[in-house]
Every structure is written in C-alpha cells, then in structure tokens.
Amino acid sequence: MKSALIIGSGLGGLSTALRLSHKGYDVTILEKHHRAGGRLNLIEQDGFRFDMGPSFMSMTYELDELFNSINEKNPIELEELDPLYQVFFEGKEKPRLIYKDLQKLQEEFKDIEPDLANKVDKYLSRAGQFFHDTEDKVVKSNFNNKLEYILKLSRVPLKHLPYLFKTMWSEVDKTFKSEEMKIIFSLVAFFLGSTPFQTPAIYSLLNYTEMRHNGYWKVKGGMYKMVEEILKILERNGVKIHYNTEIVSIGNNNSKLNEVIDQNGKRWTADIIISNSDAASFRGKLLGRKNYSEAKLDKMHWTLAPYTIYLGVKGKVDKLMHHNYFLGSNFRGYADTIFTSSINPQKPYYYVNVTSKSDQTAAPEGHENIYILCPVPDLRFKKDWSDKEELAETLISDLSQRTGFDIKNNIVTKRIMAPDDWANTLNLYKGSGLGLAHDIDQVGAFRPSNKDEEFSNLYYVGASTTPGTGLPMVIISSKLVTERIEKDYATLS
C-alpha cells in the first residue's frame, strides 16, 4: 500500500485525503492548528458559534462530484439563498436586496435602474458563455507546461478575447446606469484580489456563478459541518490526523522528498507528500527555492487580508440578514488605496454574516452571533496591528449607527482576528486571505503548479495552486492533484 502524507487540513487537503484514501492509499495528515479545516474553520466562545472564514458556498455540484467520486452520498445539507444578500449604501437608510430572480431584482431597483432584468440577462448570458467555454478546457485541466496551457487557451472561442483587455468596470459602466448597480456587479473583483478598475472583464463569470448558474448556498448547521462530515468519512477510511504539528523544514532528500520535519524535530516520511500549505510560500520558506524568495513572493500579487470580528450580542438586530454588505462612499478612491494603505481605513467597506438568523443553535436564545469581515491590506503594507482595537471600534460604531441597534453596549463576547493572527494561525502568506491573486500572469500554467519542479513525489493542493481560490476551486484542485498522482503512480484500487 502506498503512503501519502498531506501537510495541512484545509478543504483542499481534506478532499485530497478523501480521494486518496478511497483509492487505497495509507493517508496521514499533519496540521499546524488544533482543529481541521484551515480557513474553513470554527470559533466557539461563551455559548456562541461562528464560521471563522468562509460563509457561503457556490458551485455546489463540486461537492456532489467529490462525494460521488468516493461512492458516498453527499452528507452536507445546503440551503440556497434568495435574496443572495442585502447591501447598505452610505447615506441611504434602506438597504437594497439582491435577488437571483431578475424580476424581483428589477422591482427592487426600479427607481434608479430602468429595464434592469433585460440588462442583467444580457450581461450574465455573455459571462455564462465564457464560463462554460473555459470551465473544462482551462479551469479543470492539468498543464505540464506553459505551451500546453496556451494551446488549450487557444481553443477558447476568439469572441472572448476582447474581454481580456477590457476591465470589469468598463463592462459594468457600459451596462448599467446607476452607480449602485455598477458597484454591486463589480464587488466580486475584490474577492479575486484586485479592483474592478484593474480586473479583466472575463471575471464577470463570477457574477454569473453567483446570480444565475448555481447561486449562493449556506450550510445547514454552519459551514463547519462540511469539515465535520468529511472527518467522519476519513476516520472510517483509517486516515490519521496529527494536530499541533507544523512542518518547519525538510530532511535529507535526493530526487524525492524523503522526509519532512516538524517543530519538535520529528521526521515524517511517505511515498508521496502533498502540501496543502500555500503552494508559493511553501516552495520559498521550506524548500528554499530562489523563484519564491521573500523578495520574489512580495512582488507577486496577493489577495487582500481579512480583518475579522466575532461578536456575541444580546438582543436581535432586526435590520441584519444572513449576508449583509456595508459600503462606504468614494468607491474609486477606496479601490485605489485599499491594497496598499498602511493605516486603518476610516470609512471601511465590510461584510456582516449572522447565522443565528436561521440557526437557533449558533447563539443563546435572544442573542445574535455577528461576524464582521473587513478586507484590509496585507502585512507587506501594514505590518503592525497593535492598534487592532481601533478598527473594531470604528466598525462596531458604524454598524450600530446603520442598523439602529446599540451593538457596543450589548456585546457579551468578542474576538478579533487581524491579518497577523490569520498569518500566524494558518501560515497564510503575509496574512493574505485568499492566497495568490488571479491576474492573467498568475493563473493556469502561470500559477504555482500542483506538481513540484524538482521532487518527483511532491505535490500541492489548495488556494495558491491551480485552479485558484475559494471552496469549490480547492475541491477541483484536489481532483486535479489526485489525477496527477494517479498518472504518476499506479492506481491501487
């Protein structure tokens, strides 16, 4: 039986463990944190439960594919969101509801955006064509080299080419009349680690996945249920997980990576090693690769860092829904400075998630669990977060004012995670929340490969390798790396 060692138990690592253990590999997972899941994690505090990072799932059919591939019924109960979320614009008292149903969306915005259903329909149809023309050819493919990737890209219909050179903002600007609609449709650019003024228009495919294709889903019982259900199957499959175990260096190696060493000096060996630790920084920090030195990593384009607050609050905040966005004024100015500013934002844009709205077990009766996520520059630009309480105060007072509920004086429990906490807890490079960004020169064969350049038995899975970041993408990543391993080693089942 071949043995596989997976470094990290993020969703990418866990999904790979599911696939390999099903195929008969003897799988061991080493995890730095005390709990599995990586960014898909859980905070339990004073009777409250919070999703630590991800709060919604998209492209849910990737979960079905994962469980089908191991002959298991998908055990995760999902509930589709419609409205998807609500958006609070600065200075406007009434939030806007964002519906997947275009007639309802048109009704919601009829005062500022005429003929909206028709405009969105055209916009999403174009984005959808691009999505379907690239999903299998590019997103779900392994590439051995750049030439192979470019040849695959050349099979994508030429009609999409102009969208590589236009920005997302130019497309929404052309499509919609109201500033509000333009902003709503371009927010997805920030998830990719860029701004709508720089992101190519092709990434409007994310609008398509959220608003038409498969939508946004929440997990019944909280996002962490996904991890708990996977862990049950892994246990049945005999997969061993060692927590509080961080791989900090490598041992003697030849053309293979024969051993990796943890913080206590213990040496771990296996036939195959898969890093679910960031694919770029692992190569730099642990393998000492020159192309991934700190100076080179710093020059790469990383996604924004998360600044998160978890609040247990007494009372019910009626104005909040499950998913809420709070936007400031001066969108362009915000976009221009958000990645590189070294000071706390004065008028932050942020997202609020309240699972106690629909899950009675997430907070004690008569209370809410409020999770605030504010994207901020990573540690390259703002190194010192000793002032982290200040930003929390700004956010909590803004949220109180805009919801008309005195949150500050009703807090019964609170935790803050600034970018340095995210970096230290999960080894996220300089605290970048979603890993490497998705610029054209950082995707496909230009993204760190899922197969190592030197060690023939070392592979990578997760957000900073192919195809990219986000929960469905790292599930696809686990499929791609398993295909690689199967091709390199004979299948055992």
- Residue ranges in contact with ligand FAD by CB under 6 A: 7-13, 30-33, 38-40, 53-56, 246-247, 276-277, 306, 308, 373, 426-427, 433-434, 462-463, 469-471, 474
**Cβ closer to ligand FAD: 183 or 226?**
226
Sign of torsion, CA 159 164 166 172? Answer: positive
**Cβ closer to ligand FAD: 33 or 479?**
33
DSSP-derived secondary structure letter, 304? P
**Cβ closer to ligand FAD: 14 or 116?**
14
Say how far apart CA 354 and CA 357 lie, in whole Å: 6
Amino acid at 168: M
**Cβ closer to ligand FAD: 116 or 250?**
250
Q: How far is the CB of 306 from ligand FAD (least distance, A)?
A: 4
Residue 98: CB atoms within 10 Å: 24
Residue with the two structure tokens 């709070």 = 326
Q: Which helix (H) or strand (E) holds 262?
A: strand 259-262
Tell me the backbone φ, ψ of residue 334, rounded to 5 degrees: -60, -50
Tell me the backbone φ, ψ of residue 301, rounded to 5 degrees: -100, 120
**Cβ closer to ligand FAD: 177 or 455?**
455
Residue 147: CB atoms within 10 Å: 10
Under 8 Å between Cβ of 38 and 11: yes
Q: How far is the CB of 199 from ligand FAD (least distance, A)?
A: 17
Under 8 Å between Cβ of 440 and 200: yes
Say how far apart CA 153 and CA 444 lie, in whole Å: 9
Say how far apart CA 230 and CA 36 lie, in whole Å: 10
Under 8 Å between Cβ of 55 and 353: yes
Amino acid at 207: N
Contacts of 37 (CB under 8 A, 6+ apart): 9, 10, 11, 14, 224, 227
**Cβ closer to ligand FAD: 85 or 109?**
85
Say how far apart CA 153 and CA 148 lie, in whole Å: 9
Q: How far is the CB of 468 from ligand FAD (least distance, A)?
A: 8
The SS3 of residue 18 is helix
Q: How far is the CB of 391 from ligand FAD (least distance, A)?
A: 15
Q: How far is the CB of 273 from ligand FAD (least distance, A)?
A: 11
DSSP-derived secondary structure letter, 312? E
Q: How far is the CB of 249 from ligand FAD (least distance, A)?
A: 10
- Tell me the H-state helices in 111-245: 116-134, 146-153, 162-165, 168-175, 179-186, 188-191, 205-208, 225-236
**Cβ closer to ligand FAD: 261 or 412?**
261
Q: How far is the CB of 463 from ligand FAD (least distance, A)?
A: 4
Q: How far is the CB of 177 from ligand FAD (least distance, A)?
A: 30
**Cβ closer to ligand FAD: 5 or 124?**
5
**Cβ closer to ligand FAD: 116 or 436?**
436
Cis peptide before 472 (omega within 30 of 0): no
List Cα–Cα distances, 391 to 337, 344, 349, 396, 398, in angstroms.
Answer: 16, 6, 12, 9, 11
Q: How far is the CB of 139 from ligand FAD (least distance, A)?
A: 14
**Cβ closer to ligand FAD: 124 or 273?**
273
Could you tell me which residues are beta bridge partners of residue 18?
Answer: none
**Cβ closer to ligand FAD: 31 or 171?**
31
**Cβ closer to ligand FAD: 116 or 362?**
362
Sign of torsion, CA 387 388 389 391? Answer: positive
